[in-house]
Structure 1
Amino acid sequence: MSVYVQPYTIPNVTIKREEEQLFISMDNAKENTYQLFSGNRPHLEAINKKIGESKNSMFRVTLPVDEGPYYFVIKGEDFETNIFSERVIQLKQAINFRDLGGYQTTDGRVTRWGLLFRGDQLSKLDETDRRLLEKMNLKTIVDYRSEHERTVNPNKQIATVIQTVHCDPQSSFSEAAANAVDLNEENVKLVRQLEEGKIESKYINGKGENVIEDYQFLITSEPAKEAYKKFLQTCADVANAPLVHHCRGGKDRTGLGSMFLLLLLGVKEEEIVNDYILTGIIRKDRNQLKYELYQELTKNEDYLAYLMAMIETREEFIRASIERIKELYPTTTDYFIQHFGLTQEQIDTMREFYLEEGMNK
């Protein structure tokens, strides 16, 4: 039986799935009677079905993935959690599709569940996956991939999707992936670049300096400005939600897009960093596989260290991007207004729509 432990939901709540069984627990709970409520829409009035009661805040319930999505609230005496759900959507043919709900902001609010998603490419979705996304009423797809990537691996059609917005930030970091036909060709190209001296020697180690430089370059580059402006403007029209933005693996281009969006909404920096790091946790097995494939192509330890740094999601990578914005602008809000051309009214509207008051009490 496959077991999936959600890497993060909301503070103090843990979710583990074993096929159709969900195990939900609340950390550091006092001895009390707790009730678990569920619903298929991320609104308190819809989360009204009591599905469990416990004196130790531990629940086991049967909830098949394909009958979801599920949203939950735990209630106790004079206590109620925020809404929460399974952060990583349990799709069969995409491993990094996840909800951006439940993140805390600096003013005490949280991002709403079921409206904003990030993911990897949607080219292999099966019918069960597509039905689940349709039940989530997914309306808009923002695709950061290049035209070549989209041609080689076109996304599957999802009946509820009204529009797909293409916006390629032209990240040099993603160039090998963008021009490859499959994973093997991508790996061969990466190793060949190293062997042919196309990568500066100062980068050929495990420090990841090239990742930091590329991320920081995207903070100001014109193609990235136009791409992420289109993404943020799409989010600013709240009628486009529920919305997912994605690239190939959901790591770099999508990681920066998520950083921009969460920063704009006023999410705490620690939460933004944690969201970025989640990709590495989710892709741990895949990264190990890639390492083994790299080993088949080269035995050079410096090459291997360089290649692994490129696929990892280290805290310093995303923090360097945030620090770059702070260096250039008095406030992050100034960055979104002056660099991307958003208005204060748009930002206020987004915060009003995508955030809700914290419910823990």
Structure 2
Amino acid sequence: MKNNIMPECLLPLSGAVNFRDMGGLATKDGRKVKKGLLFRAAELTGLTDEDVSLLETLQLKRVFDYRRQKEAERKPDPPLGSAILERVSAISEENIATNMFVKDDGFNADYYRQFTVERFLKIYTEMPIQNPSYKRLMMLLKSPEENLPLVHHCTGGRDRTGVGAMLILMTMGVPYETVLGDYLLSNLTLAERHQTIFEKASQYFTPEEYKQLINAFPLREDYLHAAYNAILRNYGDFDTYIAEEFGISEEVRENIKNYCLE
């Protein structure tokens, strides 16, 4: 995928993919999320010296990692200036989505056969409710003066990071439809990674198995819908959700908005 068709929010890094500035999105009240405050990304372990130099200009205060322990041990985050590195796993240790971009000499066909639409829908339905990782993320957001700029990331920067981005952006008043479009952008920024997996799978899968993978594996609207609908089902509306789940009062929310919006 050539850089000239990639979105402006994508940072020009050679050792990491899907590293995006979350700024520029419009809120319901006509303001926009400031650029240079909130970033989302895939794994960071491959960052080059030039990449690190570029990222240090962002003066990040926090790197928040959604990965499980084994993922982080296998591909640790490099230091980025004086940023505090923190990891709180967003999904259970045995969850299939934690290993989806593992690169090795072989191809674990049985692993990729587990990817079904139903499985992803279950993961997304569970993620936003009583999740220690998102509770910690939103705790950091509640004190933007102390903790931003921040980058949050997982392995591909799409599922766990996608739900985290939804929570951050909707707290600042970005409409769900806009958040959904930003979420689906990972299908573009990760297109080469997805295609590599599909090409490997085609060598091992039956036509039916392959069809299932290419249907289920890319990000779909109904995946994020599942997370959002779980919030509505459990709390009635998003405002009640962030108040009860994260202790974000209207006063705290206004402070977040005033700091992060322009």
Q: State TM-score, norm by structure 1.
A: 0.67
Query: Does 2:119 align with 1:190?
Result: no
- TM-superposed CA distance for 1:268, in Å, is 1.2
Map 1:101-120 onto structure 2 (within 5 A): 101-120=23-42
Write 1 or 2 for the structure with the bigger share of strand: 1
1:267 and 1:345 map into 2 onto residues whose CA distance is 18
Aligned counterpart for 1:265 among listed residues 148, 169, 172? 172
- TM-superposed CA distance for 1:261, in Å, is 0.9
- TM-superposed CA distance for 1:339, in Å, is 1.8
Checking the alignment, whether the CA contact within 8 Å between 2:126 and 2:230 is kept in structure 1 is no
Give the structure with higher Rg (CA).
1
Cα-Cα RMSD: 2.0
Q: Secondary structure at the match of 2:63?
A: strand
2:153 maps to which residue? Answer: 246
Checking the alignment, whether the CA contact within 8 Å between 1:119 and 1:246 is kept in structure 2 is yes
1:62 maps to which residue? Answer: none
1:337 maps to which residue? Answer: 243
Checking the alignment, whether the CA contact within 8 Å between 1:173 and 1:214 is kept in structure 2 is no
Q: Secondary structure at the match of 2:86?
A: strand
* 1:116 partner letter: L
2:21 maps to which residue? Answer: 99
Once the two structures are overlaid, the 10-residue window that deviates more, 334-343 or 130-139, is: 334-343
Task: Pick 1 or 2: higher relative contact order, CA cutoff 8 A, min separation 6.
Answer: 2
Map 1:81-230 onto structure 2 (within 5 A): 86-161=8-83, 163-171=84-92, 172-177=95-100, 182-183=103-104, 187-191=108-112, 194=113, 208-220=117-129, 222=130, 225-230=131-136
Query: Does 2:141 align with 1:235?
Result: yes
2:214 and 2:126 map into 1 onto residues whose CA distance is 21
* 1:108 partner letter: G
Aligned counterpart for 2:185 among listed residues 269, 278, 290? 278
Checking the alignment, whether the CA contact within 8 Å between 1:121 and 1:247 is kept in structure 2 is yes
1:260 and 1:173 map into 2 onto residues whose CA distance is 22
* 1:6 partner letter: M
- TM-superposed CA distance for 1:5, in Å, is 2.0
Q: Which runs of 4+ in 1 moved over 4 A?
A: 183-186
Write 1 or 2 for the structure with the bigger share of helix: 2
* 1:303 partner letter: E
1:177 and 1:288 map into 2 onto residues whose CA distance is 13
Query: Does 2:233 align with 1:327?
Result: yes
Checking the alignment, whether the CA contact within 8 Å between 1:177 and 1:186 is kept in structure 2 is no
1:9-57, Cα deviation, whole Å (9 max, x unpaired): xxxxxxxxxxxxxxxxxxxxxxxxxxxxxxxxxxxxxxxxxxxxxxxxx
Q: Secondary structure at the match of 2:152?
A: strand
Q: State TM-score, norm by structure 2.
A: 0.91
- Point out where structure 1 has 5 or more consecutive residues left out of the alignment: 8-85, 357-361
- TM-superposed CA distance for 1:289, in Å, is 1.3
Checking the alignment, whether the CA contact within 8 Å between 2:68 and 2:98 is kept in structure 1 is no
In structure 2, relative to structure 1, the CA distance for the partners of 1:281 and 1:3 (3 Å cut) is closer
Checking the alignment, whether the CA contact within 8 Å between 1:229 and 1:341 is kept in structure 2 is no
Q: Secondary structure at the match of 2:158?
A: coil
